[in-house]
Amino acid sequence: MKKLSFSIIIAAFTLITAHAQLSTGENTAVTNTDAGKVRGYIHNTIYTYKGIPYAVAKRFEAPQKPTPWQGVRSSMTYGPVAPLMDPTTSVQDEGEFVFHHDWGYTSEDCMRINVWTPGINDGKKRAVMFWIHGGGFTAGSSQELPSYDGENLAKKGDVVVVSINHRLNILGYLDMSAYGEKYKHSANNSILDMKVALEWVRDNISNFGGDPGNVTIFGQSGGGAKVNTLMAMPSAKGLFHKAINESGAFTTAMLDKQTTQTITAEVLKALNLQPNQADELQKIPFAQLSDAGKKALKVIADQMKASGKQLPPFGLSWGPSIDGEDLPYQVSSPEAYELSKNVPLLIGTTKNEFTPFMNGAFTNAPLDKVMENIKKHQGDKADAYIAAVKKAYPDDTKPSDLMDVDVTFRPGAVAQANQKSSLAGGAPVYMYLFDYQSPVMDGKYKAVHCMELAFVFNNINRCEEMSGGTKEAYALADKMSSAWINFARTGNPNHKGLPNWPAYNSTNTATMHFDNKCIVKPQLDKELFDLVAPRAM
């Protein structure tokens, strides 16, 4: 009886300690930054810090170092997110179930950094993975999706994961440069915020167990576009050493200064302000400023259409522009590619991106209805289109698969991979395509935009609503997160769980297809792209 009781006690103690994964306290997880000490918490052996200020700024002015604080700053919860032009007031129930957003709370004082690390003050030099959120250049945050949590990735790879919030939309991109020296950088303050956050990493990450000499920037969608923008930013050179672009290789040209300054003039006009009253824009409530910005963008878009100028595929919006200083080159220019020539690149997209939303009415449609819709949109190219899709994806069986292949995001990724890999003596490029079809909601969301993130961050347990939480999902997440970790460490994503993944070039077009069975194939969708090239970004 005594032996049984002792065994029960030991078993109970083991169970308790196994679940005692959270450590907090006044003296727990305390380390230094150049602005003062911070205190986080330890969960599942990972030191976690959230909402640390990396910069401050007045509206439309360049970011500055935060004012140092006394004592120890509690940094245990996410900081404010950037104000949004269109705040979420309602959601589509099923879609929100799948994405499971965390909208956070807003403030213009939103320049905050989050860190997940296996150890602090231990002298180790861990690879740093610097995450940049999506949402275009106008929305999103470092906490928006559950997949963004860095704990599992940090633990699995013994890496330091960092994410940031930064200024967005009109606050990050309104070009006030014509109205005073203090606004010199205003057209690209959002990108400047990211550069300053990378400087914070350079100056502070050693205290968090990271190596400032081995930093990988990675982002998805708008975050991928921000990765490309940083690669084209001369003053950011040397602050990162590798880059990963997930579904963000947009080929749309950035606006020039004449256009961005004209937009600002229209904002003033919409608010009944004269040029000598431009400083008033620093005081106007954000909602009022945002409305004026929308009006100005519409005016300029209409003028561009009238003059025959081509608009971006998703319409005129806020984003980085050629300002002659912070961003002197287009991101796809030879000068920009030369600037980042020695930065290894991992790039790819998901098989379906937004098509499951665009073609939702045909998810379970019979073949004749799908064919009818394809002929409606492709006209005399319908037969060639169907043949090209079947060549690219010969194993597809569902009728809607014929119309759900992405032809908007991937062409830009292929173009970027071709151009970067052609640089003589340049760093390698690795191409992927995420094919995995989620079983959620009878498979209707397929490999939708953002789907790969749960796999990259090894966060299937946090994202079952999107990934399905199946054993196949966990197995694929193990392979993908290991590839991202290895790339961050060495610039090469290969590991024993994958078939050999050659560096990409325009001749071998080697592409890793991530699915229940991972396989490297050459590009099989070139004919498809040739047919639908006008839809590419």
From first to last of its 537 residues, the chain has per-residue pLDDT tens of 444 454 544 454 444 444 559 999 999 999 999 999 999 999 999 999 999 999 999 999 999 999 999 999 999 999 999 999 888 888 899 999 999 999 999 999 999 999 999 999 999 999 999 999 999 999 999 999 999 999 999 999 999 999 999 999 999 999 999 999 999 999 999 999 999 999 999 999 999 999 999 999 999 999 999 999 999 999 999 999 999 999 999 878 999 999 999 999 999 999 999 999 999 999 999 999 999 999 999 999 999 999 988 887 778 999 999 999 999 999 999 999 999 999 999 999 999 999 998 888 888 899 999 999 999 989 999 999 999 999 999 999 999 999 999 999 999 999 999 999 999 999 999 999 999 999 999 999 999 999 999 999 999 999 999 999 999 999 999 999 999 999 999 999 999 999 999 999 999 999 999 999 999 999 999 999 999 865 444
Tell me the residue range of the domain where 394 lies.
345-535
Task: For residue 268, tell me if it sits in a domain.
Answer: no
| Same domain (yes/no): 196, 86 | yes
Query: Where in 380-469 does DSSP place strands (E)?
Result: 429-434
| Same domain (yes/no): 503, 362 | yes
Range list of H helices, 235-347 = 257-270, 286-306, 334-339
Task: For residue 334, tell me if it sits in a domain.
Answer: no
| Same domain (yes/no): 236, 369 | no
Task: For residue 226, tell me if it sits in a domain.
Answer: yes
Query: Both tokens of residue 95?
Result: 């879609």
| Same domain (yes/no): 514, 381 | yes
Let me know: does 205 contact 125? Beta carbons within 8 Å: no
pLDDT at 200: 98
| Same domain (yes/no): 373, 514 | yes
pLDDT at 15: 44
CB count, 10 Å around CB of 508? Answer: 14
Calpha distance 285→399 (Å, rounded): 50
| Same domain (yes/no): 68, 181 | yes
pLDDT at 20: 52
| Domain end call among 192, 214, 246 | 246
Task: For residue 419, tell me if it sits in a domain.
Answer: yes
Contacts of 45 (CB under 8 A, 6+ apart): 21, 118, 155
| Same domain (yes/no): 376, 236 | no
| Domain end call among 246, 263, 298 | 246
| Same domain (yes/no): 56, 169 | yes
| Domain end call among 220, 246, 272 | 246
- Residue 53 φ/ψ, nearest 5 degrees: -70, 130
Let me know: does 129 contact 160? Beta carbons within 8 Å: yes
| Same domain (yes/no): 209, 61 | yes
| Same domain (yes/no): 180, 62 | yes
CB count, 10 Å around CB of 178? Answer: 15
Task: For residue 336, tell me if it sits in a domain.
Answer: no
Task: For residue 477, tell me if it sits in a domain.
Answer: yes
| Same domain (yes/no): 391, 525 | yes
Q: Is 328 exposed, middle or buried (0-12, 13-18, 19+ CB in 10 A)?
A: middle
Query: Where in 58-151 does DSSP place strands (E)?
Result: 72-74, 112-117, 126-132
pLDDT at 333: 96
Task: For residue 267, tell me if it sits in a domain.
Answer: no
According to DSSP, the residues that pair with 226 across neighbouring strands are none
Catalytic residues: 221, 353, 449
* Structural domain count of the chain: 2
Q: CATH no. for residue 155?
A: 3.40.50.1820
349 three-state secondary structure: strand
Nearest to 106 by CA among 156, 171, 161: 171
Task: For residue 296, tell me if it sits in a domain.
Answer: no
